[in-house]
Amino acid sequence: MQKNGSGETHLPIYLPQREQELLVRFREKAKEKNVDPNMMDMLVSMLMSAAKFAQMDILQRQTILDTGQIQEDVLKSNLLVLTSLVAKVYDEYDHASEGTHMECTRETELLRGLTELQKGGVAVNLGCANGTQVTEILSSGFQRVVGYDISPEMVACAKEKFPDNEFFVHDLDTGITLEDETVDLVVANFGAASEVCKDLWQETSRILRPGGRTYFSFYNQNALITRWWTPWSNSFCITINPHNDTIMVPVAG
């Protein structure tokens, strides 16, 4: 099915604002009918995704994604809006699709093993979000666990959940505010390494003690889980845009 019009006059296949409106509307409908709104998000996201690819096929388009570069300040302000909207429901991502759950499980198992192996004084969590997944594991092996995130809402949630750990609102693009050779383990997980810090490698090697270790995970457009779309139960669905190295996240706020 094609959106209104034909030939040159058809509407764009991908309208993020419209998708967001639909997600919100269907979430409301689900609540009215006593249906799980997260399940509804997933179904609507899947349908929208299938519809876009069908339309691409009909219109013989190679891509529906934005191929233009997006300025860094725009990306950062989008990130702040996104994180402020999802901070409170961020934990739900582990209960999303089987694929996302598997990804969370794999990452936490890897981190448990690494914590066991490395143990010690200081562990740092770059792009910690609300601290879920990582803080408890690191706390089991390190005396001091420090988390950084650019999002004030994420950091507020992290402090509330883990009052015994340290969390700071900080833009890691400006560097990591720790002394040279003071850290035993640096973690940037669940894709965080793709976005947190321009000089990630240099900054990490600067703060690591000799023999220290790192654990980074990156967004990967070729991973099966992210090949076309990744459903997250907390009302967002990611599309990786390889044309301008961004991810697009429609959010039902």
Site of interaction with ligand SAM (CB under 6 A)? 79, 83, 127-129, 133-134, 148-151, 154, 171-173, 189-192, 195-196
Amino acid sitting at position 10: H
Min dist CB 160 to ligand SAM, Å, is 15
- Find the shortest distance in angstroms from Cβ 42 to ligand SAM: 19
Alpha helices by DSSP H, 140-249: 152-161, 200-207
> Rounded to whole angstroms, how far apart are CA atoms 122 and 212?
10
Nearest to 151 by CA among 77, 232, 89: 77
Q: How far is the CB of 56 from ligand SAM (least distance, A)?
A: 27
Q: Which of 64/75 has CB closer to ligand SAM? A: 75
Cβ-based nearer residue to ligand SAM, 63 or 69: 69
Least distance (Å) between residue 13 CB and ligand SAM: 26
Question: Within 8-71, where are the H helices?
Answer: 16-32, 37-58
CA atoms within a 13 Å half-sphere pointing along the CA-CB vector of 201 = 0
| Minimum gap (Å) between residue 226 Cβ and ligand SAM | 12
Nearest approach in angstroms of CB 189 to ligand SAM is: 5
Six-digit token pair at 158? Answer: 């992290």
Residue 14 or 190 having the CB closest to ligand SAM: 190
Do residues 210 and 179 make contact, with C-beta atoms less than 8 angstroms apart? no
Residue placing its CB nearer to ligand SAM in the complex, 55 or 135: 135
What CA–CA distance (Å, rounded) separates 215 from 155? 21
Residue in the structure block whose two tokens are 């594991």 = 137
- Residue with smaller CB distance to ligand SAM, 26 or 190: 190
Which DSSP symbol is given to 87? G
Q: Which residue is nearest to ligand SAM (CB)?
A: 127
Q: Output the CA–CA distances (angstroms, integers) from residue 177 to 4, 109, 210, in the order listed.
A: 52, 28, 18
Between 118 and 130, CB nearer to ligand SAM: 130
Termini Cα distance of the chain: 28
Of 55 and 217, which has the nearer Cβ to ligand SAM? Answer: 217
Phi, psi dihedrals of residue 188, rounded to the nearest 5°: -135, 95
Q: How far is the CB of 210 from ligand SAM (least distance, A)?
A: 26
